[in-house]
Amino acid sequence: SQQGEEDPQALSIQEGENATMNCSYKTSINNLQWYRQNSGRGLVHLILIRSNEREKHSGRLRVTLDTSKKSSSLLITASRAADTASYFCATAPLSGSRLTFGEGTQLTVNP
Amino acid sequence: EAQVTQNPRYLITVTGKKLTVTCSQNMNHEYMSWYRQDPGLGLRQIYYSMNVEVTDKGDVPEGYKVSRKEKRNFPLILESPSPNQTSLYFCASSYRGVSGWSNQPQHFGDGTRLSIL
């Protein structure tokens, strides 16, 4: 089964609202990364948070990591229609060479 | 412009006809990887390469081959494609970095949609 699992699978909000997506994982990690995928395009890296970090910000993005609960959240503030995309979390193991992706959250921001 | 380029973007072919999907990056990245994306299954890694002449299996390597003869190129080869390999394929690359490739962002190509009839 996948290491990372996003929740919810789909989220629909109005422009200007905040969007929160969650990711849970099973085994200990080196870091956790969030990616965005626009329809028909490749994934774009958004933010990386290391296992010894609890919170990280990048523009309108805020990521938290709780290693005790093996979970992370991605918050997009003041969402825009251009934020409509699929969002994936990916976990990097403590050892090994595989980055494991979840199934993604489809975010729709309505104008 | 820094990019990962995949070709072709779309391909419809028949069972058993060998095909190659090319991947090239212009960022001098050591690490390259192939993924397939299927509905309900997310992205699954097929093969990866830590550097020239070094390749290893990912989670779903059966039916695929790769080679890394040059740093910039990492082709994916389907020797005898079958319908269950119909999927959206992505190539990705990253620096190895001081603390290892997994601490680096992955750069993705725009994908190759393969349909095998």
| Subunit contact B42:A101, Cβ cutoff 8 A | yes
pLDDT at residue number A51:
93
A-chain residues near B105 (CB < 8 A): 33, 45, 48
Question: How far, in Å, CA of B72 to CA of B47, rounded?
Answer: 16
| Subunit contact B40:A97, Cβ cutoff 8 A | no
pLDDT band at B12 (very low <50, low <70, confident <90, very high): very high
- Does the CB of B117 have a partner CB in chain A at under 8 Å? no
pLDDT at residue number B97:
67
Question: How far, in Å, CA of A37 to CA of A92, rounded?
Answer: 19
CA distance A64 to chain B (A): 17
pLDDT band at A20 (very low <50, low <70, confident <90, very high): very high
B-chain residues near A102 (CB < 8 A): 42
pLDDT at residue number B104:
84
Question: How far, in Å, CA of A88 to CA of A106, rounded?
Answer: 9
Q: What is the pLDDT of residues B47-63, one digit of tens each?
A: 999 999 999 999 999 99
CA distance A35 to chain B (A): 9
Q: What is the pLDDT of residues B63-97, one digit of tens each?
A: 999 999 999 999 999 999 999 999 999 999 998 76
C-alpha distances out from residue A108 to A17, A57, A58, B48, B106, Å: 11, 22, 21, 32, 24
Task: Tell me the residues of chain A between 31 and 90 that have a Cβ less than 8 Å away from chain B.
Answer: 31, 33, 35, 40-45, 48, 50, 88, 90
- Does the CB of B88 have a partner CB in chain A at under 8 Å? no
Question: Does position A1 have pLDDT exceeding 50, yes or no?
Answer: no
B8: which DSSP letter? Answer: -
pLDDT band at B42 (very low <50, low <70, confident <90, very high): confident
Terminal CA-to-CA distance of chain B, rounded, Å? 36
Residue of A108, A38, A107, A28 lying closest to A74 (CA atoms): A107
pLDDT at residue number B102:
73
* CB-based contact B65:B79 (threshold 8 Å): yes
